[in-house]
Amino acid sequence: MLNAVGLQNPGVESVINDELPRLAECFDKPVMANVSGFSVDDYVYTVSRLDPQKQIGWFEVNISCPNVHGGGMSFGVDPASAEKVTAAVRKVTKKPVIMKLSPNVTDIAGIARACEAGGADGISLINTLPGMRIDIKRRIPVIANTFGGLSGPAVFPVALRMVWQVYRAVSLPIIGMGGVSSAEDVIEMMLAGATAVGIGAANLVCPFVCRDIAEALPAIMERYGINNLCDITGGAHNG
């Protein structure tokens, strides 16, 4: 799937005043707040506003955004910038901080180490890969923005490789994501080093995919002699 919707959201004040109360009506568990920004101050302000909200259990900080004060380069492609954002957010909350990494780098392990040095509690990866399609008849890009974020099964091998690399680089728990669409994918992702697994694009194919995967896992675990999922994180590194 290609998307170019950006980071559309109602803004932090609307989340506090409208979205969280509405969510509380149907969901009584802590939620993760995904935070983005175009400057370090943006990240700090947003986390500071959300931190007092009891519903929010932890933060996922998306550092794939362009740094408007750094020539437009994404925070997530420069170790120094990644560490700076992590440290700044870490100072304004005691809740867990998970740094979401961009795959558009030559050394994903170096970015992860920078986030760990900045005080991150965990790493999530990967975000989408850049891609495009062209309308042959009209001879123009299908997406008005020219490029979009590629997600879905096509990116799974890339995500798996990067989770593997980050697992070897840091001692932090990892949320692995990118093209996961089956119980077998979950097992693979955990064997590569993920402590938890995220599912995104597959929900657009089947809204019940998370339920279906959870229901399929026991049989898959029995087939492969897995007693507890917690025991297999990083298991492929032992061979």
106-137 pLDDT, tens per residue?
A: 999 999 999 999 999 999 999 999 999 999 99
Of 4-18, 70-84, 131-145, 210-224, the one with minimum mean pLDDT is: 70-84
Q: What is the pLDDT of residues 33-83, one digit of tens each?
A: 999 998 999 999 999 999 999 999 999 999 986 544 655 568 899 999 999
Q: What is the mean pLDDT of residues 5-15?
A: 88
Q: Which pLDDT band, with edges at 50, 70 and 90, does 6 fall under? A: confident
Pairwise CA distance, residues 181 & 160, whole Å: 13
User: Domain 2-238 class?
Assistant: alpha beta
pLDDT number for residue 238: 85
Q: What is the mean pLDDT of residues 186-207?
A: 97
Q: Has 26 been annotated as catalytic?
A: no
| Residue 176 backbone dihedrals phi, psi, to 5 degrees | -90, 135
pLDDT number for residue 23: 94
Entry pTM: 0.93
Pairwise CA distance, residues 122 & 171, whole Å: 9
Q: Which pLDDT band, with edges at 50, 70 and 90, does 5 fall under? A: confident
CB count in 10 Å sphere of residue 207: 9
pLDDT number for residue 9: 87
Does the pLDDT value for residue 10 go beyond 60?
yes
Q: Residue 58: in which H helix or E strand, if any?
A: strand 56-62
pLDDT number for residue 8: 81
pLDDT number for residue 114: 98
Which amino acid would we find at residue 75?
Answer: F
Pairwise CA distance, residues 72 & 95, whole Å: 29
Pairwise CA distance, residues 163 & 191, whole Å: 10
| Residue 98 backbone dihedrals phi, psi, to 5 degrees | -105, 125
Q: Exactly one of 26, 65, 115, 230 is catalytic; name it.
A: 65
Does the pLDDT value for residue 157 go beyond 60?
yes
